[in-house]
Amino acid sequence: MRMKQLFTSMVVGAAAVMAFSSAASAADMTGAGSTFIYPIAAKWAESYKAATGNGLNYQSVGSGAGIKQIKAKTVDFGASDMPLKAEELDAEGLMQFPAIMGGVVTVVNLDGIAPGQLKLTGPVVADIYLGKVKQWNDAEIAAINPGVKLPASEITVVHRADGSGTSFLFTDFLSKTSAEFKTKIGSGTAVKWVVGVGGKGNEGVAANVQRIKGSIGYVEWAYAKKNKMAHTQLKNKDGNFLQPDDDFFKAAAASAEWAKTPGFGVVLTDQAGKNSWPITGVTFVLMHKHQADAAKGKEVVKFFDWAFKNGGAAATELDYVPLPASVVKLVQDAWKANLKDASGKAIY
């Protein structure tokens, strides 16, 4: 029965992605990349289509693929949870801007462990993903979970198999909290994992964790909630164990210096603050500064402008954090300054 339910869930999820794409016409905007943003992008696209009649064909293929596609000019915009550095943006003639914020969580499949019951720290998770901690009742895990009956079972590590911004956020956090992880694996959208099984997209990691007893993985919070997965607490930089929560994602972003960071390239992992969720991230949208198809470029900007003004409630409902009004103003100013048509005229 459980396998049947999982199969049904995966089929329904796949159908939703196909419907989102197959409804597109030649006049629709096209985007590709981050699976982190997909749930809210799909919701925004549905509402925007109803409001304007204009559609979006977004491919949830991972940040790495999204970066490649926008560089190749095969889509109107790319989406990545890893910001590109200013030098790369300039070399490719791209601009980037933040679209939404959210949290990455660790999820487990353990009998007898309730959602949010298990506590983990960056160093312990790093040792699990380094293959050093192999049993759930290992002394490292037991030491931070007194009174919790931990199973004497092997840990199956689940990670992303594709180029992933979620992996960047996860590995960036682990690299900041474990010198050994930083040296042996490091941070990036695609790293050389030393143990575990891969899943494609947040969807694939979630499905694998649901399928494999004794497993641990990492997904965007919306996927964990939607699939009723057992998340863990995480210890933040100030030493507090937190449950994932919108307010804690906001707390991590509160001190971000958007205006002073080239290309808005803020990374929100391991932020100071007693209420800062340690793996908070931003999805960035990538567009070419010079728009060969000005009509499509204008439509992409209109879509995100509409989302900033009208999509906040939907974002909050799906456990994302909308951009503050001050940051939206910075983004709008960046559109005016950077996005031009073939004649050099601003498209916003």
Q: Are residues 334 and 310 in the same domain?
A: yes
What pLDDT is stored for residue 16 in this prediction? 38
What pLDDT is stored for residue 7 in this prediction? 30
Q: Are residues 152 and 248 in the same domain?
A: yes
In a domain, 63, yes or no: yes
Q: Are residues 185 and 295 in the same domain?
A: no
Residue 122, CA distances (Å) to 103, 127, 174 in order: 15, 9, 6
Q: How far apart are CA 98 and CA 92, in angstroms?
A: 18
- Residue after which a domain boundary falls, among 253, 274, 293: 253
Q: Are residues 249 and 118 in the same domain?
A: yes
In a domain, 175, yes or no: yes
Q: How far apart are CA 280 and CA 34, in angstroms?
A: 15
Q: Are residues 164 and 246 in the same domain?
A: yes
Q: How far apart are CA 339 and CA 348, in angstroms?
A: 7
Q: Which residues pair with 346 in a beta bridge?
A: 340
What pLDDT is stored for residue 255 in this prediction? 85
Residue 64, CA distances (Å) to 32, 120, 126, 175, 297 in order: 10, 28, 23, 19, 22
In a domain, 156, yes or no: yes
DSSP E strands in the chain: the ranges are: 29-33, 56-60, 77-80, 94-108, 119-120, 156-160, 197-199, 215-220, 230-231, 233-235, 241-242, 280-288
- Residue after which a domain boundary falls, among 235, 253, 271: 253
Q: Are residues 49 and 138 in the same domain?
A: no
- Residue after which a domain boundary falls, among 238, 253, 268: 253
Q: Give the CA angle between residues 129, 284, 64 to the nearest 5°.
A: 50
CA atoms within 13 Å, Cβ hemisphere of 197? 14
Q: Are residues 232 and 296 in the same domain?
A: no
CATH classification of the domain holding 95: 3.40.190.10
Q: Are residues 217 and 186 in the same domain?
A: yes
* φ, ψ dihedrals at 156, nearest 5°: -105, 120
Report how far Cα 201 is from the mean position of its chain's Cα atoms. Answer: 10
What pLDDT is stored for residue 209 in this prediction? 97
What pLDDT is stored for residue 6 in this prediction? 37
Q: Are residues 182 and 230 in the same domain?
A: yes
Residue ranges of the chain with per-residue pLDDT less than 50: 1-23
**Tally of domains in the chain:** 2
In a domain, 324, yes or no: yes
What pLDDT is stored for residue 131 in this prediction? 98
Q: Are residues 91 and 121 in the same domain?
A: no
What pLDDT is stored for residue 25 in this prediction? 60
In a domain, 346, yes or no: no
The per-residue pLDDT for range 291-315, each reduced to its tens digit, is 999 999 999 999 999 999 999 999 9
Q: How far apart are CA 61 and CA 6, in angstroms?
A: 21
What pLDDT is stored for residue 18 in this prediction? 34
74 class by beta-carbon count within 10 Å (0-12 exposed, 13-18 middle, 19+ buried) = exposed
3-state helix vs strand vs coil in the chain, percent to 5: 45, 20, 35
Enclosing domain of residue 111: 104-253
What pLDDT is stored for residue 98 in this prediction? 98
Q: Are residues 246 and 165 in the same domain?
A: yes
* φ, ψ dihedrals at 239, nearest 5°: 90, 10
Q: Give the CA angle between residues 91, 95, 97 to the nearest 5°.
A: 145
Q: Give the number of other Cβ atoms within 10 Å of residue 61's Cβ.
A: 22
Q: Are residues 128 and 226 in the same domain?
A: yes
